[in-house]
Structure 1
Amino acid sequence: MKTGVVILPIYSGQEALARWRAAEEAGFDTAWTFDHLSWRTFRDKPWFGTVPTLAAAAAVTSRVRLGTLVTSPNFRHPVTFAKEVMTLDDISGGRITLGIGAGGTGFDATTLGQDPWPPRERQDRFEEFLDLMDRLLTAPATTYRGTYYSAVEARMIPGCVQTPRVPFSVAATGPRGMRLAARLGQQWVTFGDPKRLTGQTAAQYTADIADQVHRLEDACIAEGRDPKELGRVLLSGSTDERVLDSVDAFVDHAGRHAAVGITEIAVHLPVPGTVFGTDEKVFERIVADGLPQVRDL
């Protein structure tokens, strides 16, 4: 099983660069960051831009895969964002993964002055956004006219380092999103059942993930795709399961989810005094002793 770490874009200068280097040196397979303009309790605290953050991370690492977990259409347009993703892929030497989802109703949904989109429109926009991103990143020039997004002879030269384009890691829990992941994704991302994130046992949380994996596999079959082609990423930390309380808790969590088809576990780098306030010494032991055990799952 692969392991990933989420590094929030809250650090400046050399402190930020040191954390991305450390993630690679620790042996994580992937290092991700959120793609928001601000986020929950961090709204009035330092929060830097995602694309420049990943460009800097690419410059100080050489092996670890980098990406967004996740981007949404809330404040981005496919044409300009595709150009940025293509550039990140070039800077990183082909180590970028685009994690992307439909988005929600937080600050990003209204910061450009728009009203929050109803759920159906949000999903419609997501499907159109991802379809256009796929076209843009696989062709030197694209013209497209959709309901929400358009492109007129949009140039993407020289194109992505990775072929046919950077991988998409599609976040989805509903049927339409899972069909989209099966059609255009190279990975699928979940954080659990959004309706059952509290009050469950560890076994119940895992059962929810197992149900999602089964539905994802059905979506792949419906799209004529081998389900084994699609990686499955679990972003841990959204439920009340205490995954990072000890090495044993982390290894048990990873093992239970590997057994139901998850191929990567991603955890958050500790941020003291926040919802991500894991004990840093325990996290160090998890990195030193837990990652090698999980790698063998």
Structure 2
Amino acid sequence: MSSSSSPSKQKKETKEEEAVLKSLSSLDAFIDEVHTSLISLDLNEPPLFFALKALQRRSQKEDEDIGPTHLPIPKQMIMEFGVGAGHTLKKIKEFFPVGKTIVGFDSFEGLPENWIPGSWGKGAFSQGGEIPKDILGENVSIVKGLFSDTVPKFFDTTNFADAELLLLHIDCDLYQSTKEVLGEALAKTLKENRFFMSAEVPLFVAFDELIDYPTYEDHEIKALFEFLKENKDWIECVVLGADGREDTGEKLRFYKPAEICPHRVLTLFRPTKKARKEWQAREKASAAEAESKKNVCSMS
């Protein structure tokens, strides 16, 4: 989707090293900080593609560094919340036809409630309850149903202990749907994931409709603000950027994955330095205790 109501942006002369979101006192302050951060953070391509290319480069480097190995390789996961006709999921599959586990979530019955007045209401983007056949693949799983019924259950029942969470693509549109994704179950999953808590594998989170369309303040960005505020003691969000290519200023409409869309934003979730150090200390203590027990057993 696109809107001609995007606030004018003036390029900063210098680019800040990192845009960590810290204004969590109010939603208005948070939104202002997101906009300010994006002034100097142009990706010059769709944010999702930027993330996928970064992951692709990382995979290539890992292959070069590690070479042939008989050691178990961690499961690497990419998740999309809001599949619809499958345009973006097909793109994700093109980037990673093998080697990554791709999971898509959708009811395929359209929006569960009204979204943007006069544009998209309840039932918009419906696929008649049918999963598009061309999105399926050997490494693609589809979890069908309302997010409230499927997403928390998926996080609670899936073993993520040895999985690298690489990317969440949030195309939820609605506040409540986004809230189901950015909720307690995800927070618990990240807190228990050694790759995330060690900061070895930070998590890309790409939003399809975060900013600058009518009523955007009520939806994805609100759910993001609440998630970060609820977990501010141990998780932080870095704004990586928006598309940055010249917006045509067209009226609000549906945008395909490769098109310029000013509402899409790429972020990165990671543990705070304090949380990472505390996790590392616990891991070190746990390893020392295990080694001590092992030595006692060998002596007896």
Q: Aligning the two structures, in what range does the TM-score lie when normalised by the shorter sequence?
A: 0.3 to 0.5
Greater gyration radius = 2
Determine which structure has the larger helix proportion and give its number.
1
TM (norm. structure 1) is 0.33
Larger RCO: 1 or 2 (CA < 8 Å, sep 6+): 2
